[in-house]
Amino acid sequence: MTIALQDGVSDWPTAGFPGVRMNPDTLLPVVVNEEAMESALAASEDPADRIMALLLDNQPKEAAELLAEARYKDPESFRLRIFEAEVHRATHRLDRAVQLFKHLLHDVQGSSKEAIVHQYLGRAYFVSGNALAASEEFAKALDLRVAMAADAALIYSSAVALQRARNVLELAS
């Protein structure tokens, strides 16, 4: 899904890849600058980047095939494990995505990667309609990122996601 870079999109949180930002309403990544993304993909040799691009282009089957090949070559890759769960999220197997993120969270507990997994787990909960669990995960990600003095863009991303989940909870009550 590609959208034109327009007013209001510039304050969307970055999604960790050139040309990609997080939609603050859906909390899902979207391509906002296809040229920047394509240029970064051309310079990358990381299969996780191509998997991400396929997911953004709504091609989860192709992403799953590339993921299987990449995981065979590098079964312990943190990024590939993240994208394994993301493929499940993208194909609406949300329970499996949550399960994989929880398993990954157990494996990275106490490391610098823990906040990343809380953020992704929060997004999986949010997409599945569980705003309460999402807000708890986003709060953990935000707390960890602040405590680690993470990059401001990461802190902002967690803060936006947490506020969105809380807004959904407030509307539901």
Task: List the beta bridge partners of residue 21.
Answer: 14, 30
Q: What are the strands, taking DSSP E only, across the chain?
A: 20-22, 29-31
User: CA-CA distance, 1 to 65, in Å (whole number)?
Assistant: 20
d(CA 149, CA 71): 31
* pLDDT (tens digit per residue) in 116-149: 999 999 999 999 999 999 999 999 999 999 999 9
- Go through the domains of the chain in sequence order and give each one's CATH number: 95-173 (1.25.40)
Contact 79, 46 (CB under 8 A): yes
- Which residues face 30 on adjacent strands? 21
Question: pLDDT, tens digit, for every residue of 69-124?
Answer: 999 999 999 999 999 999 999 999 999 999 999 999 999 999 999 999 999 999 99
Of the CA atoms within 13 Å of residue 4, those in its CB half-sphere come to 2
Does the reported pTM lie above 0.85? Answer: yes
